[in-house]
Every structure is written in C-alpha cells, then in structure tokens.
Amino acid sequence: MSSDVKPGSEVQHAVHWFDKPKPMQLDALTQNFIGLVLLTAIVNPFGPTINGLAVLSELPLPAPPTKLHIAKFYLNPFGHAVESIGLLDGSSTTTQVGDELVSNIDRLGYDGSGCFTFFHPGYLYAGSSTAVQLARALLLRVEGLVKELDFLRRFPNDPWRRISAETDDAMQPLRDLATGKREPAGNEKKHDAQTSEDVESFLEIIQRDEHNAEEWKVLFAAWKGAIEHVPPRTFSDVLTVEKIIDVYAHLVHEPRPKKARPRKSRVNRSAA
C-alpha cells in the first residue's frame, strides 16, 4: 500500500484518501480523462473560475486504466491546479463513492468563498444524482447564497444584467463611504444564512438548460475579456479561452450509447 494512503479502516472506504493532494498536469483533464463528477463555475468579468471533480486514469489513455484517481481542479485565466485527492476502490459502487465524497466535503477544493451560478453534472462516471447531491452539500456552505438567489430571480436567464446589478451592489459601500453614509465598523449587514429551501430553489434555477446556456456564453466571454484587459506578459501562464473551451468540451462530453450492430443473415445454401 502506498505511504500516501491513510492506513487502517479508511482503506475499506469507497475512496482511498491521500494525506496530501498529489499534483497532476493540466493535460490530464483531457489525456487521462475517465469521467466527470461535477463542474461548477463562478461567472463574472473579474475572476471567471471553474472548479470541479473528475475521475482520471493514472496513465494517459488509451493505456488500460489500472488506477483511477479522484481529482479536484481549479481553472481561471491566470492560474490553474489539478490535484489527485485519492484513489477509487474498484469494488465500490457509484452510490458508495458519492456518499464518500459528500462525507468528505472539505477535501473537494471548495472553500465556500464564491457562489457558483453554473453547474454541470457528470455523465460517464457518477451520474447526475451524485453531482446534485454534492452540489447541494456545497451550496449549504457557500457565503452569500441568499443574495445571489435574489439576483437570479430578478434577472432570469440574463447574466449580463445580473452581473451589472451585482457589481453596482458591491460598489455601494464605497459610494456610501465617499458621501459619509457608511455605518460605523461592526454595524455592517451580514449575509443571511441560507436554509435548505433556499438551496433547493437555487439548485432548481442552476439546473435549467436555458439558464446554463446563457451562463456558458458569458463565462467564456468574461474569460476572454479578462485576458484582453491585462497588459501583455503580466502573467507567465495564461490559460487561453481556446484552451479552456477544449478542456471544457472533454469534461462535459456526454457519451453516446453504442448502437447495436445489425446481425448478418445466414444464407441457407441448401435451400438453393
């Protein structure tokens, strides 16, 4: 057993967790890709960011996958990381893996500081039920969900107007400070804590096809715009919009069921 894997009873779990994440190359998301668990995105013009979980092979395909890694990934125009957080137990069902991921939500690379408004469930490996279960658990931890839910309701399927309103709202404290209207320190309004009903309402919106179709457009427009508005050579490792679209296409590809090949009829030669 690898020294990176926790000993004891945990090896009986659906995922053999590593003590520390193991870095992987960005190209592993395309070359070693087995299946997507979930993908989410924070959609805004200042820091468009994609996060998610994928199942990756130890070796690039088409080599036979001997080890399957659960990898978390973080992608934005000016930084990215792909890290394996554990190995799948080959004898576990997808339901067991989903339960294991929800039980270890702190390992999945979501710190709760950003509220994602784009959501794509995995097809090949986990199925949408696991992805929705994980999204629900993650959204219960997100800061500012109640306010974001209000914006989503006010501007249905219109992320540009929503983002404009969000930006205006974020700038209001600066305007208040400039005009002397800001409340004394310690009296700032805190975000309301979300309820399970808020999370379900939020989930219902971000699973709509028409919602995600518009979010997808704005995500990549914002990605391109973020790069264009930064002076050249400011960042040494820019993730171009062409590259991220290629990665995204691999991650969300829905496998088509194989068509049954027609059986060849056998000719009865003796009937001639």
C-alpha 191/C-alpha 58 separation (Å) is: 42
For residues 39 and 251, is the Cβ–Cβ distance under 8 A?
A: yes
Per-residue model confidence (pLDDT) at position 100: 92
204-241 tens-digit pLDDT: 999 999 999 999 999 999 999 999 888 777 777 899 99
Whole-structure pTM value: 0.83
C-alpha 20, offset from chain centre:
21
Per-residue model confidence (pLDDT) at position 257: 60
C-alpha 158, offset from chain centre:
21
67 vs 267, which has greater pLDDT? 67
183-203 tens-digit pLDDT: 545 544 556 788 999 999 999
Structure token pair of residue 207 = 């699973």
Residue among 40, 45, 38 nearest 166 (CA): 45
Confidence of residue 98 (pLDDT cuts 50, 70, 90): confident
178 vs 204, which has greater pLDDT? 204
260 vs 76, which has greater pLDDT? 76
- 104 pLDDT more than 60: yes
Confidence of residue 120 (pLDDT cuts 50, 70, 90): very high
32-60 tens-digit pLDDT: 999 999 999 999 888 899 999 999 999 99
For residues 44 and 23, is the Cβ–Cβ distance under 8 A?
A: no
Alpha-carbon distances of 270 from 3, 186, 221, 263, 265, rounded to whole Å: 68, 96, 68, 21, 15
